[in-house]
Structure 1
Amino acid sequence: MNTSLFFDMSAPPDKAACPVYPTELVVGLDMSVDVTPALFERMRSTLLSLLDSINIAESNCPTGTRVAVVSYSSNTKYLIRFSDYRRKKGLVEAVKNIPHERTSDRRNIGAAMRFVGRNVFKRIRQGVLIRKVAIFLSGGQSQDVTSITTAVLEYKALDINLGVIGFSDTPNVQRAFEADETGSFINVLERSDTQTAALEKIQRCIICFDPCNPARDCPSSREVSTSKEVNMDLALLVDGSRSIQADQYEGVKQVLGTVLDQLVVSGQPSKADRQARVALYQQSSSYSEARAPVKQIFTFQQFQDRKLMKRSIFNNLKQTGGYSRLGDAMEFVIMQGLLTVPKPRKNKMVLLIVGGETEYSDRARLDFISMKAKCQGVVLFTLTVGDHFNSAQVVELASFPKEQHIVHLGHVKQGEQEYSRRFIRTFLHILNRKENLCFTKIS
């Protein structure tokens, strides 16, 4: 389960009991320009209270909790690493000795989250039951809302459980947390009893969460397995060229199936409603179509059932070889399909599977049609496969912000497929909420 909570705090809580699930816990301490010594002491006191009920791992075996602490402002740096302390007494003393840092840097909590997600969590213990938890203590507003939204996307995709404890009113952080479909942002008033209950809840629902026996007041994980109702026409455009290896191509089919699993597909695609319609195309120079090097596998109005769409993907989508003609294919998909289909939905999106660089003579067409699509309000989301694509071309192709519209699938193994599934699900949730969207990478 991936869940997020936000708390507005000014006092530490009472103790709470933790289950024995092995956990990698990273805590971010705010050291920005507006964090006073008094505020820093409140944050330290809160951190010590969180640590009080945690069983610290005394070895690399998958039991107990390992703790790392970072400080952040515009930049992020290590204060305590996972491997530094294997006794609670030593860890607590180290936290008590963390000095308050004077700085002129402003707060960027999104950048700090992404640093932790991409760097600190690379050095964790391995095990099926290992939980990844990040708690950030924040003293105020963050300078970049877009980076927070990007970080939430990445945390959901990486299955990192996230909580933010705010010590002042932070509406932009609250808006960014709406990217989390669990809707678990909590704003606590100044009363000490409310603060105590809130920090107890962050212990119970984030740090000490028991997935086998979750507390009733913790965000539910049931909605993760349900389809989302998105008012959208979605065109899937697959690279069928030789740039994608045969095993990767089969993985692409699996990814397309999981995309469909995220959506409530319209049962009446020929009529106006608020549910998704999907069309599937494949492009390659091997197609000798008169109008474009593209083949339509099924249309927006062809199927009324997601299962029939998935069956068509696995039975009718065949790799053809040849080279990529993405520009010509996109022009056909957008101009002859997406923008002309009757009873259009509110949102229009093209999800592109890109495995190679488009042919030289096709590049100007690709630049033109991608710009035209964006001007028409079409969302361009790209999944790259393998190592033969042109990175600059992919970045230019995707919608802005780039970091929310590109996912690198690598060789489309199971972990990469699961990453893309979680990322796309959260992306669709944001799209449905009319949020700004943004590029992430599996390394």
Structure 2
Amino acid sequence: MITIAAPREPSPETRVALVPDIVSALVRAGHRVLVESGAGAASTHPDEAYTAAGAEVVPAIDLAAVDVLAHVTPLPATAFGRLRPGAVTLGLESPLDDDERLAAANANRLTVLAFERLPRTSRAQSMDVLSSQALAAGYRCVLEAAIRLPRFFPLAMTAAGTVPPAKVVVLGIGVAGLQAIATAKRLGAKVAANDIRPDSAEEARSVGATFIDVGLDAAEGTGTGGYARALGSSAAERQQAALAPHIADADVLITTAAVPGHRAPLLVTAAMVAAMRPGSVVVDLAASTGGNVEASRPGEDVRVPSSRGAGEVTVVGLASAPSDLPADASRLYAKNVANVLALLVADGELVVPLDDDIVAGLALTHEGVTRDRDGAPVAPPAAPVADAAPVAPETDVTTPPGADLISPVSPDTAGEDRTTSYAGGRR
């Protein structure tokens, strides 16, 4: 039997790492499950539902008693220090190169499994948090745009005249982009899309979009593992020049390009936004990781004066679109967690099989060292440290002071020129 815990995520996160259905399955398998009181309240899962599923609902989780901590938002270094040596954490961990957090995890010899590092293989699809959450994000971003757009999405033919359909442009044809295209089409919009990966053209057409060809060679846009690669400055300039007239003609622009574990690429300049018609709406799904759009700010609506007349363009920086759909987003996330947990248990005991390509890929740290995607050490082991002081049960370790929270933007990339970094991918 192993002890698995799910904390209450810090505000404004509304998702939870385990839902009652998954808890019930884990308990039936013989495991002990701890859930912090209120963890599922925002995702429509009250404490009573967890209790009925067999979980122990506690005021605060004693991290020293936990074998596996499943979480959504990145854990602060202070939480790593409170876990028992050898424990496993499983969740989102961006940025992946935060030295303070890595040092804290290695000092306590924790196994930190980061969903951002999941291999892109058929076998790993059932564990792919980035894809499951991108599905929710792609759907939500179109609804946010439709609410703010001061006109119809669909074609309307009435006795008073004909209203043409809204024109939507989607940049990035990964999971979020495809879902955004499909949702916009269902609402009746006319959709065009672009991604620098050559195989994305057929994907866009399969869900009803017109593909915008910017004239890039396959070698310029295709990277390893199915992701787009960073563009050189010349290619990026050609891309922006080709996209500019399509964006200027759009009523709605949605950007979805993300690089897991890194700062988002800059795709759209402030001048390109200003060239849109007054009343147009831009939704940036990558706002919380640096932004695809120069004017976006996470969690804010920014008004940009239009250069085409009186009025403004609204730039929506979605901080965490999946968190706006917490019930289904949590259900999908929890299923991904459960599928990874199945790899970590053998004969009722906790194991970390680095000979498994999925576990090796996920393992950011293990046995005191930072690991590469093959599970090999990339840094010397941390010096042994004394056992961490016990944590009082009443201590709320899931909502540390603001100073402990980790920014989603890596300091190593702050201020860099991101116009050459357009990468598509699963988001």
For Structure 1 versus Structure 2, the TM-score category normalised by the shorter chain is under 0.3
Length-normalised TM-score, structure 1:
0.26
Q: Higher RCO, 1 or 2 (CA under 8 Å, sep at least 6)?
A: 2
Length-normalised TM-score, structure 2:
0.26
